[in-house]
Homo-oligomer: A and B are copies of this chain.
Amino acid sequence: MTPDVRIVEVGPRDGLQNERAMVATADKIELVDRLSATGLRSIEATSFVSPKWVPQLADAAEVFAGIRRRAEVRYPVLVPNEKGYERARAVGVEEIAVFTAASEAFNQRNINASIDASLERFAPVLARAREDGVSVRGYVSTVLGCPYQGEVPLADVVRVARALHAMGCYEVSLGDTIGVGTPGKARAMLEAVAAEVPMSALAVHFHDTWGQALANILACLEAGVAVVDASVSGAGGCPYAKGASGNVASEDVVYMLHGLGVSTGVDLDALAETGRWLAARLGHENGSKVGRALDAGTST
């Protein structure tokens, strides 16, 4: 197991875009600034997807312009196309994330394009990022199941991950969008991808909809992954299952890693305090069990 894991905090983007509550711009800025002070090294700050699709993050430019960026922290933002890229660059974005799915049905339904067509759409964005010296992270969603087609062939996951890496993504995040995966399948998926893309260029992104996220992360750590996506307070429900949980909580991941003797650089108490603050703003229970246990005053 790696001695050090980098957490990619996706709460301000993947979390907030799936929450019903509209969060004020000032609170989004405060969220990122609070996260920046916890020792996190990657914080996905917002999304430049069209406000038509993600109204929750319509203030992406104001948020990004408002945060206090630290030199030691990466602040990727989600970008769907050249227009989003230009909006992002106009406010000083230095790292972007592009996204597609391993499921043909999911791509058709979400962006009305095949997997291959979705990859072609990124090509100009990636070309410009390369010219501009902008780092690019790639997301592959539905790697362990799809809400529309069910099973997703492993070969499609590998093909999409390899394509994103070959197109210039320094890191490819493998996402179990609907949280149906279990540890054996998660590890087999990661290992299949790692046969074609270096493990050091891979991240895992688990949703906890079926309660399996931490076990899946453990299995992937055992297989050698060293980058894990997570969302503070578990922000972000599951858009495919009303009332079900979505992102795994960053606090729970960090607690497990520290218990395993894996360092993250993150101050768990500061992270949990931020999760508590965010849950209050979202008006629902803290989705982090570590956060709730700390609130309840369990002795550690």
Using a CB–CB cutoff of 8 Å, the interface residues on chain A facing chain B are 145-148, 150, 178-185, 208-212, 214-215, 217-219, 238, 240-245, 249, 252, 255-256, 258-261, 288-290, 292-293, 295-300
A-B contact pairs, 8 of them (CB 8 A): A179-B298, A182-B258, A182-B259, A183-B260, A211-B214, A215-B217, A238-B298, A241-B297
Residues of B contacting A178 with CB < 8 Å? 298-299
B179 contacts A244, C-beta separation under 8 Å: no
B180 touches A242 (CB 8 A): no
Interface pair B243/A295, CB less than 8 Å apart: yes
From B212, B260, B295, A182 is in contact (CB under 8 Å) with: B260
Complex CA gap A298/B181 in Å reads: 13
In contact, A292 and B245 (Cβ under 8 angstroms): yes
Measured between alpha carbons, how far is A212 from B288 in the docked complex, in Å?
A: 11
- Closest chain B residue, CB of each to CB of A182: B259
> Given A211-B289, A211-B290, A299-B178, A184 and B245 touching (CB < 8 A)?
no
Contact check, A255 vs B289: say whether CB atoms are below 8 A apart: no
Q: What residues of chain B lie closer than 8 Å to A259, measured between beta carbons?
A: 181-185, 212
User: Could you say which of B180, B252, B292 contacts A244, with CB atoms under 8 Å apart?
Assistant: B292
When distances are taken between beta carbons in the complex, the residues of chain B under 8 Å from A240 are 298-299
Nearest chain B CB to A55 CB, angstrom units: 22
Determine if A256 and B180 form an interchain contact, defined as CB atoms under 8 angstroms apart. Answer: no
The residue from B147, B209, B289 contacting A209, defined by CB atoms under 8 A apart: B289
Rounded to whole angstroms, the CA-CA distance of A183 and B215 in the bound complex is 9
Given A215-B218, A218-B183, A293-B256 contact (CB < 8 Å) = no
Q: Which residues of B have CB within 8 Å of A261?
A: 184
Tell me the complex Cα distance, A219–B216, Å.
11
Residues of B within 8 A of A255 (CB): 182, 210-212
Q: Is the CB of A244 within 8 A of B182?
A: no
Docked pose: A261 CA to B182 CA in angstroms:
10
Contact A241 B296 (CB under 8 A): yes
Asked whether B184 lies within 8 Å of A260 as measured between CB atoms, the reply is yes
Contact check, A244 vs B210: say whether CB atoms are below 8 A apart: no
User: Chain B contacts of A244 at CB under 8 A?
Assistant: 289, 292-293, 296, 298
- List the B side residues contacting A300 at CB < 8 Å: 145, 150, 180
The answer for the CA separation of A300 and B298 in the assembled complex, in Å, is: 35
Closest beta carbon of chain B to A195's beta carbon, Å: 21
Q: In the complex, are the beta carbons of B290 and A210 less than 8 A apart?
A: yes
Most buried by B among A147, A240, A252, A299: A299
Assembly CA distance A243 to B214 (angstroms): 21
Contact of A218 among B219, B238, B252, B298 (CB under 8 A): B219
User: In the complex the two chains form, what is the Cα distance from A53 to B110 in whole Å?
Assistant: 56
C-alpha spacing A173/B283, complex, angstroms: 39
Could you say which residues of chain B place their CB within 8 Å of the CB of A297? 241-242
Identify A298's interface contact among B147, B260, B295, CB under 8 A.
Answer: B147
